[in-house]
Structure 1
Amino acid sequence: MLAGRRILLIIGGGIAAYKSLDLIRRLRERGAAVTPVMTRAASEFVTPLSVAALAGEDVHADLFDLTREAEMGHIQLSRVADLLVVAPATADLMAKMVGGHADDLASTLLLATDTPVMIAPAMNVRMWDHPATQRNLATLRGDGIRIVGPNEGDMACGEFGPGRMAEPLEIVAAIEGALSDGPLKGRRVLVTSGPTHEPIDPVRYIANRSSGAQGTAVAEALRDLGAEVVFVTGRADAPRPTGMTVVEVESAREMREAVMDALPVDAGVFAAAVADWRVKSASASKIKKTAGQLPVLEFEENPDILRDVSKLAEGRPALVVGFAAETDDVVANATAKRARKGCDWIVANDVSPATGIMGGTENAVVLITADGAEAWPRAAKSDVARKLADRLAEALKKVPS
């Protein structure tokens, strides 16, 4: 897919710059040409010689290279690539992109280009969570910048949380999706997946029996059709998909917040098994077992994410797809759910224990739309996902991008 493609790789100044070396290698082994650009700070973490050796091309670093600037080299660099990739994208580089700064070669290239841009953010968790960075992230998304990562994990500074740069193969998958000529190229889609966990106390929780396999398969199928996918997942058993932004959450309230932060999108596929209720006052310490006494748990409703998104007055996705896991009267219950929630489609399935669907590798669904109910034959969850992605792509053809 990347053979003959040219990637302009801008390497920012962060500890994650070392991953850019492996990223270059992975891109080149897939046939892509990589033109490297380094910020001054990047050269403090990896040497230009190492980058040039792996890329097989000179490193560009100086805005005022007289030989190249005689031919307006910084403009040409930004125009001949198929995609500009910033990895790592530091908080500083993201801020420069938002502000339209052009005080070095990297920021000038990003301002002068009309080529699609993808960033792989990497920074300390506090910097990532800072309101300024989150405002900048929202602006970049609104400007059409593709974003892959960051991941959650241990930081070089010793802290833990979101801010780790996506792994090279994840970025490669995202690049392949961005350069795909599939029918969803240029579209942004949100997918929710997995169960939510609602705490009772620090060691106990309420959850649904969802592996997250179907939601993951849907996200991968949409990615393969060229969509930019934001994947919001609870604590699912299924491996996380690559080539997209993955946001991990625990509770329904956290999932709702992540969903709202991901908007606007062209379509939303809500495959998560969100718990309907939560304990009103979860205990801060473990509830001890006492002979002859049972704890009394008072419940309250969780936010209805599907309904809230479906009924947005502004920023509603053009297509909102919900899921309905039923054990009785599947079509009738799912049809009623579609009307109640206000979504466009419902993907319904029978999850009775005898079906083996919940947690299994196959699914048998009924697609509920305004035109009625359409039963699909039982198939692998990946096949169901591809069929749904194809239908979604067909529907979005009628919606201006």
Structure 2
Amino acid sequence: MLKGKKIVLGITGGIAAYKAAALCSGLVKQGADVHVVMTESAAKFITELTLQTLSRNPVHIDTFDERNPEVVTHIHLADLADLVLIAPATANTISQMALGLADNMLTSMLLATTAPIMVAPAMNVHMYQHPAIIGHMNTLVDRGVMMVEPGEGMLACGYVGKGRLEEPETIISVVQQYFITQERERQLAGLLAGRKVTVTAGGTIERIDPVRYITNDSSGKMGVAVARMAHRMGADVKLIAASVQVPLPADIETIRVQSAQDMYEAVLAEWNDTDIMVQTAAVADYRPKTVHSTKMKKKDADLILELEKTVDILQSLGERKIDQFLIGFAAETEHVAEYAMDKLKRKRCDLIVANDVTAAGAGFGTDTNRVQIFDEQGLVDDVPLMGKDEVASRLLQLAAKRMSGVSAS
């Protein structure tokens, strides 16, 4: 799985450095080209010769030990890496990374590299829990550094707790999964290039008065996931967002709306030059017939609130459809397939994504979803429980195939 991948393995000075031998050997067996950079402290725990033998490449420790006059070694290693893996990563090295310090071969190389970085911490449990170390690790994560969390158990210092370097086999599996994900991203990139994708997300708000309104449980997570994934696939994305409980992507143009009428107007403004419209928003079916300009005062008698129907955005788009690809969502609590097919046909959708919101892990506000995707012939894809980003990926790949005239079996 790692054939041809160039991995710079950084080893720092903790007792867990002995595990680096098995880690290095395992990466090489998977086909990786491993280049080891050690700190001087690491060399107190495991020898340069051991890692040179296992990696079949020179091992680097001293910044000034320049063996090849044609290159500056720490820059050369920084440039060649497909991945930089620091395992074990001590508290000291993690702190240096967070602060941008460079006083040895490894930290100098880390400052110079633009390759993805993966860190596997290993230290005493109290060191791992120290606020300074937690802050430094959070800083690294914010910069995009990937963390392989340490395991729990008996530590070399005698304490029992979290801080033990994760086992080499597990770290190798994490590295493999990273490259699998990267390859999948590469294949998806450009899949929707040249297409405009408009996505609606969140729950609409229908005002009763200035302080009260009618809404629903939609968090907007599914719609934001679809927008993010379409953007990764190269589409020009417009996100029309009502009330959402998740951060909105900074790199995607977003139009904020509140009511069903607001969303309808925003959608129509984008419709004519949209290639794919994905209606994930939970749009209110009814709104108060009268909206009070001032706060309604509580009375002794019961309150009767008269509602009127809102515009059916999906049906309106279906009636206007020329060559746009229209995807609707159906959140149901029973008879999912029956109601989904009825909605698809009535509203002239190309696909309907239906789910049972009462099912565990598939309701509003969750990070996962379990859906069924239907076209006019019936069930197309029965998607098992998975993250909403993955659900979005499967849906958009299906839409891309359909738009390209490829049968999506």
Q: Which amino acid letter does the alignment assign opposite residue 79 of structure 1?
A: D
Deviation at 1:341, TM superposition (A): 7.5
Q: Which amino acid letter does the alignment assign opposite residue 53 of structure 1?
A: T
Deviation at 1:384, TM superposition (A): 2.8
Deviations along 1:147-172, one digit per CA (max 9) or x if unpaired, are 11211111111111111111111111
Superposed, 1:207-218 pairs within 5 Å as none
Q: Report the Cα distance in structure 2 between the residues aligned to 1:83 and 1:123, rounded to whole angstroms.
A: 23
**2:57 aligned residue:** 57
Q: Report the Cα distance in structure 2 between the residues aligned to 1:43 and 1:174, rounded to whole angstroms.
A: 25
Matched, 1:12 2:34: no
**2:371 aligned residue:** 367
- Whether the 8 Å contact between 2:368 and 2:385 is mirrored in structure 1 is no
Matched, 1:335 2:339: no
After superposition, the Cα gap between the structure-2 partners of 1:172 and 1:317, relative to the gap in structure 1 and judged at 3 Å, is: farther
- Number of matched residues? 244
**2:43 aligned residue:** 43
Deviation at 1:313, TM superposition (A): 5.7
Q: Which amino acid letter does the alignment assign opposite residue 106 of structure 1?
A: L
**1:100 aligned residue:** 100
Q: Which amino acid letter does the alignment assign opposite residue 343 of structure 1?
A: G
Q: Which amino acid letter does the alignment assign opposite residue 24 of structure 2?
A: I
Q: Report the Cα distance in structure 2 between the residues aligned to 1:98 and 1:39, rounded to whole angstroms.
A: 17
- Which TM-score applies when normalising by structure 2? 0.51
What secondary structure, in the 3-state scheme, does the structure 2 residue paired with 1:79 have?
A: helix
**1:384 aligned residue:** 384
Deviation at 1:100, TM superposition (A): 0.6
Superposed, 1:307-318 pairs within 5 Å as 315=247
- Whether the 8 Å contact between 1:150 and 1:165 is mirrored in structure 2 is yes
Superposed, 1:192-207 pairs within 5 Å as none
Deviation at 1:57, TM superposition (A): 1.6
Deviation at 1:53, TM superposition (A): 1.4
After superposition, the Cα gap between the structure-2 partners of 1:395 and 1:315, relative to the gap in structure 1 and judged at 3 Å, is: farther
Deviation at 1:337, TM superposition (A): 8.8
Deviation at 1:52, TM superposition (A): 1.2
What secondary structure, in the 3-state scheme, does the structure 2 residue paired with 1:16 have?
A: helix
**2:122 aligned residue:** 122
Q: Report the Cα distance in structure 2 between the residues aligned to 1:139 and 1:14, rounded to whole angstroms.
A: 22
Q: Report the Cα distance in structure 2 between the residues aligned to 1:143 and 1:395, rounded to whole angstroms.
A: 30
Q: Report the Cα distance in structure 2 between the residues aligned to 1:101 and 1:3, rounded to whole angstroms.
A: 33
Superposed, 1:150-165 pairs within 5 Å as 150-165=150-165
Superposed, 1:297-308 pairs within 5 Å as none
Deviations along 1:203-255, one digit per CA (max 9) or x if unpaired, are xxxxxxxxxxxxxxxxxxxxxxxxxxxxxxxxxxxxxxxxxxxxxxxxxxxxx
- Whether the 8 Å contact between 2:149 and 2:166 is mirrored in structure 1 is yes
After superposition, the Cα gap between the structure-2 partners of 1:138 and 1:375, relative to the gap in structure 1 and judged at 3 Å, is: farther
Matched, 1:132 2:153: no
Q: Report the Cα distance in structure 2 between the residues aligned to 1:75 and 1:103, rounded to whole angstroms.
A: 14
Give the percent of matched residue pairs that are identical in Structure 1 and Structure 2: 35
- Whether the 8 Å contact between 1:9 and 1:36 is mirrored in structure 2 is yes
Q: Report the Cα distance in structure 1 between the residues aligned to 2:85 and 2:120, rounded to whole angstroms.
A: 8
After superposition, the Cα gap between the structure-2 partners of 1:342 and 1:386, relative to the gap in structure 1 and judged at 3 Å, is: closer
Q: Which amino acid letter does the alignment assign opposite residue 357 of structure 2?
A: T
What secondary structure, in the 3-state scheme, does the structure 1 residue paired with 2:18 have?
A: helix
What secondary structure, in the 3-state scheme, does the structure 2 residue paired with 1:180 have?
A: helix
After superposition, the Cα gap between the structure-2 partners of 1:386 and 1:69, relative to the gap in structure 1 and judged at 3 Å, is: farther
- Whether the 8 Å contact between 1:13 and 1:44 is mirrored in structure 2 is yes
- Whether the 8 Å contact between 2:367 and 2:388 is mirrored in structure 1 is no
After superposition, the Cα gap between the structure-2 partners of 1:125 and 1:315, relative to the gap in structure 1 and judged at 3 Å, is: farther
After superposition, the Cα gap between the structure-2 partners of 1:56 and 1:93, relative to the gap in structure 1 and judged at 3 Å, is: same
Deviation at 1:33, TM superposition (A): 1.4
After superposition, the Cα gap between the structure-2 partners of 1:384 and 1:334, relative to the gap in structure 1 and judged at 3 Å, is: closer
CA-based RMSD = 4.0
- Whether the 8 Å contact between 1:153 and 1:164 is mirrored in structure 2 is yes
- Whether the 8 Å contact between 1:183 and 1:393 is mirrored in structure 2 is no
- Which TM-score applies when normalising by structure 1? 0.52
**1:280 aligned residue:** none
After superposition, the Cα gap between the structure-2 partners of 1:174 and 1:337, relative to the gap in structure 1 and judged at 3 Å, is: closer
Q: Which amino acid letter does the alignment assign opposite residue 49 of structure 1?
A: L
**2:170 aligned residue:** 170
What secondary structure, in the 3-state scheme, does the structure 2 residue paired with 1:61 have?
A: coil
- Whether the 8 Å contact between 1:152 and 1:164 is mirrored in structure 2 is yes
Superposed, 1:233-382 pairs within 5 Å as 315=247, 334-335=356-357, 342-343=364-365, 347=369, 367=371
Larger radius of gyration: 2
Q: Report the Cα distance in structure 1 between the residues aligned to 2:143 and 2:30, rounded to whole angstroms.
A: 29
- Whether the 8 Å contact between 1:79 and 1:113 is mirrored in structure 2 is yes
After superposition, the Cα gap between the structure-2 partners of 1:368 and 1:386, relative to the gap in structure 1 and judged at 3 Å, is: closer
Deviations along 1:323-367, one digit per CA (max 9) or x if unpaired, are xxxxx95969953799x98537864xxxxxxxxxxxxxxxxxx52
After superposition, the Cα gap between the structure-2 partners of 1:376 and 1:114, relative to the gap in structure 1 and judged at 3 Å, is: same
Q: Report the Cα distance in structure 2 between the residues aligned to 1:346 and 1:59, rounded to whole angstroms.
A: 44
Deviations along 1:297-334, one digit per CA (max 9) or x if unpaired, are xxxxxxxxxxxxxx986647999xxxxxxxx9596995
